[in-house]
Amino acid sequence: MKLKRIYLSPKSALCYRAFTILLVAWCSYVAVDLLLNDFEQPQTTRTGVEINFYNYLFRYLVIAGAGIYTLLFVVRTKQK
C-alpha cells in the first residue's frame, strides 16, 4: 500500500521532521535497551499484568519504521 505524498510548508516540514526524528530516536533507544537489558524477561505493568516481550519490542520497531518511511517517502516541502 502506497501512501499519498503530503506537501507541507517549509516551517511545518521542519517541525514535522524534527518531531519524527526524535520519535524514531526514542523508539530505537527503547528497542535497543529492551534487547540489551531485558531480553525475554517478563514485562509487568503496575497492576501486575504481564506483557509479551516480543509484542512490546515489535511495537517500538513498527513506530520507528513508520517514522522513517514517512520521512523518506511521504512528506515533501512545497516549492514556491
Q: Which amino acid is at 5?
A: R
The top-scoring range by mean pLDDT among 11-15, 39-43, 48-52, 75-79 is 11-15
Look at residue 65 and tell me if it is in a domain: yes
Number of domains in the chain: 1
Count of residues making up the chain = 80
Q: What is the pLDDT of residue 1?
A: 66
Look at residue 55 and tell me if it is in a domain: yes
Look at residue 1 and tell me if it is in a domain: no
Q: Which amino acid is at 80?
A: K
Its pTM stands at 0.74
Residue numbers of the domain that contains 35:
6-77
Q: What is the pLDDT of residue 62?
A: 92
pLDDT in tens, 17-72: 999 999 999 999 888 888 887 666 666 777 877 777 788 788 889 999 999 998 88
Look at residue 72 and tell me if it is in a domain: yes
Which helix (H) or strand (E) segment holds residue 21: the answer is: helix 10-37
- 50 or 75: which carries more pLDDT confidence? 75
